Structure 1
């Protein structure tokens, strides 16, 4: 029997400098893909996977995220008084028992951001979502991972295959035995030179980790980029606990880049019955 995955950590303390000036006053996680912010898609994906508590690791200027998941009494009352449907806001409500917020006071890397949530995570396995990795598919990426976790337990990461020349921008796995979408992980390296990369399977922003990773991060030294890297901490756990990768059956859009963000908007819009025809016609006309 595996302990269920009840908690998820969302590291959302980054400055979003690649999207300036749009992110000067708005967290990048609040940038909308059509009509939902990126962070809402990630939370919805977590809920689909059965996760109950959302832990947001925030920083200065991130109050909009907390406001988004609060009850907007004045807005809801005004809409109700005018006969407007307020059900569109249901997914944005996270009660006190379903969310927690903790500050990362220094920009010391993803590993450090996860470590900041250690007291709330406690002694339980937990999920990690990088919201700007927009995972588009059904069932969602984390649901696919939780289903795999019930089979093999231990630690899991989502991976995708990319052209080899792109591997130096990502964490990369050294693959072992494969069984369908599951691949044994025998090693991990963060942003390797192309010539040294053990594969072209990159870590794609979703994780299920055992609580022991927090104790590893406690003494983790700085790695690539002068930051405390989660990949380095996970690498030390390989061989001590089961470690697998799940190849996501869906499409990933890198919404940390401007091109990827536009692609995500187009993909979602084209799948929406209320706007697909108009967007398709516009795209065809634009390409002409």
Structure 2
């Protein structure tokens, strides 16, 4: 099985739920403690052996591109002051030339359309898709690495899933499950945002995918689905039965950082894990009378 070397990051959304902050700052650059959301997704991809990063952007995302550039003045200043720890924090923000590619999504036509915009960068190889809004936190065994390990055995298409409450299934792409082996479940069908009470299971796709390049041919048809958009879930559903398709249940903690409450929860949870700021945050929380 060929390893997956390319990851696509759809980062063209307007982030209207975080206005007015996102009037000037791309939502993917909103910090969780001291790293932008996008950096967590990039770190996850790199831990899985990804070599090429494709960012599908839109108008107003210049700060995102600047972030992954080399900040010469800052770097030289830190070197001159001997601040090695600070320099180390910049390592994954300054990847060698050629590893990051940017492509513009010129209209907000859905996640499937965003992925299709990266078709020439992907070529004829399997590729990963990571949605930075979904912070999947498991430093010991990152989600994409867990999926890639399964992919090396299973081949085909692999997605990450979690069980969600039945009353929330209408918010997600939901798996129609087949046989299960531990954390791995055969995918028999996929439904994007099924009406309340009609979901085939509670297994929800949570923003991590390893896909075969043939999905681009399906997306090229431009079929509109839920919300009048080109849905990635609908395109993946057409691959079921044509290629192997499995779901891996994520073993860490998921934070929906496209939601204000989820973003705040992520900040608190990750801050509490830190040796440098965790004790102060914990003491403050204990002192509150909520």
* Superposition TM-score, scaled by structure 2 size: 0.97
Instruction: Indicate if the aligned counterparts of 1:174 and 1:198 stay in contact, CA closer than 8 A.
Output: yes
Distance 1:87 1:107 in 2: 36
Corresponding position of 1:11: 10
Structure 2 unmatched ranges of 5 or more: none
Distance 1:266 1:209 in 2: 33
Distance 1:286 1:262 in 2: 16
SS of match in other structure, 1:177: strand
| CA deviation map 1:203-251 (0-9, x unaligned) | 0000000000000000031100010000000000100000000000001
Instruction: Indicate if the aligned counterparts of 1:156 and 1:245 stay in contact, CA closer than 8 A.
Output: yes
TM superposition shift of 1:95: 2.1
- For the pair 1:188 / 2:187, whether they are aligned, the reply is no
- For the pair 1:46 / 2:26, whether they are aligned, the reply is no
State how 1:15-164 maps to structure 2 within 5 Å. Answer: 15-85=14-84, 86-137=87-138, 138-164=140-166
Distance 1:9 1:217 in 2: 15
| CA deviation map 1:136-195 (0-9, x unaligned) | 012100010000001101001000001100011111010100000100000000001121
State how 1:118-267 maps to structure 2 within 5 Å. Answer: 118-137=119-138, 138-267=140-269
- For the pair 1:274 / 2:276, whether they are aligned, the reply is yes
Structure 1 unmatched ranges of 5 or more: none
Equivalenced residues, count: 287
Instruction: Indicate if the aligned counterparts of 1:220 and 1:233 stay in contact, CA closer than 8 A.
Output: no
* Superposition TM-score, scaled by structure 1 size: 0.98
Please, what is the CA RMSD of the aligned residues?
0.8
TM superposition shift of 1:281: 0.8
